[in-house]
Amino acid sequence: MPEPPDAAPRLVTPCPLPGLTALTMARVALGRVGVSLPTRDHLRFTLDHARARDAVHIPLDTPAMLAALAATGLPVAELASQAATPRQFLLRPDLGRLLDEASLAHLRQRAGVPGPDLVLVVSAGLSAVAVERQAPPFLAAFLPLAAARGLTLGPLCLVAGGRVAVGDDVGEVLGARAVAVLIGERPGLSAPDSLGIYLTYDPKRGRTDAERNCISNVRPQGLSFDRAARTLDHLLGKALALGFSGVALKDDFDPALAEAAPEAPLP
C-alpha cells in the first residue's frame, strides 16, 4: 500500500522542534492543523495500525519456514503447543506455553544422552511476518558462531502456536543445557516485524521470565542480525560457564572488545 500523500503545507503548523524526528521513529514533532493531526500523519497512523493487526492475524507460512530452516543443514522438528487454534493462542497464553502430547512424544524419541548444548526454537508468536523475515538471516549469522564455540546443537524446532515458555518444554525433553527461542514480538505501530530472542539456561517447565535473557527488536531497522547473533553468542557463553541466565546474567557485550579479542571455545 502506498504511503499517504503530504497535506497541503500551508495548512500545517509545523512543530518548533523538527529535529526530533531524526532521533526516533516514534510519532513526535508532527505539527498540527488547527487542533488536529495533519491528514498525512493521521493516514500514516491508520496504515501502521492496520499493518500491526495484520502481523498478529496473518498465519505463518509453515512450508516456507520449514524449508528455510532445513536450508541451515540442521535437522528440523515440527511441533505444536496446546493452543490448537489462533483464537486459543490469543486468549489462552497458558496453552501456548506447553507442548501438546504428540510433540512431547516425538521429542522423547529424538532425545539423546548427553543432551545438546543448545536447542534453537522458532515460533511465530505475535508476528509471523517477523519470523519469516528475520529468523533465517539471524540463523545464518549465529550458527557459524555456535560452530566456532564447538557447541552441539539439537534439532531446530518450529512450534505452531508457541509462547516463549514453550522452549522450556523442548529443552527439558531433549536434555539441553540451554534453549534460545526466536519469536515474533508484539507488533508496534512503527515495527510490525521485530524478532525477539529469549535465552534460558537449564530449561525446564516452571522457569520464570526472570530466568531468561531477552534480545529484542532484531530487524534491519533495529538491532542488526550480526549484533544480535554476537550478543546471543556472548550471553550463551557466559550462561554455560556460570550456570545461570536471567536477571543475574548482565548483558555486558561490547562489540569493540569482541572484535579485538574473539571469545574462546567453551572447555
List all residues 6 or more positions away from 80 whose beta carbon is below 8 Å from its beta carbon: 99, 100, 102, 103, 159, 160, 161
Is 56 a residue whose pLDDT tops 60?
Answer: yes
The pLDDT score that the predictor gives to residue 6 is 57
Where is pLDDT greater, at 160 or 113? 160
Helix axes 128-149, 225-242, angle to 10 degrees: 50
Where does the pLDDT of residue 123 fall: very low under 50, low under 70, confident under 90, or very high at 90 and above? very high
Percent share of the chain, pLDDT over 70: 92
Separation in Å, CA 55 to CA 143, 152, 187, 190, 234: 27, 33, 7, 12, 30
Could you tell me which of 244, 128, 145, 237 has the C-alpha nearest to residue 186? 128
Where is pLDDT greater, at 230 or 12? 230
The CA distance from 140 to 59, in Å, is 24
Any idea of the CA torsion for 234, 237, 240, 246, to the nearest 10 degrees? -10
Lowest mean pLDDT among 125-134, 153-162, 250-259: 250-259
Average pLDDT over residues 44-63: 91
The pLDDT score that the predictor gives to residue 263 is 56
Is 111 a residue whose pLDDT tops 90?
Answer: no
Percent share of the chain, pLDDT over 90: 68
pTM score: 0.86
Is 259 a residue whose pLDDT tops 80?
Answer: no
Separation in Å, CA 231 to CA 45, 134, 197, 223, 255: 33, 16, 10, 10, 9
List all residues 6 or more positions away from 241 whose beta carbon is below 8 Å from its beta carbon: 266
| CA 143 to chain centroid | 16
The pLDDT score that the predictor gives to residue 218 is 97
Average pLDDT over residues 54-82: 94
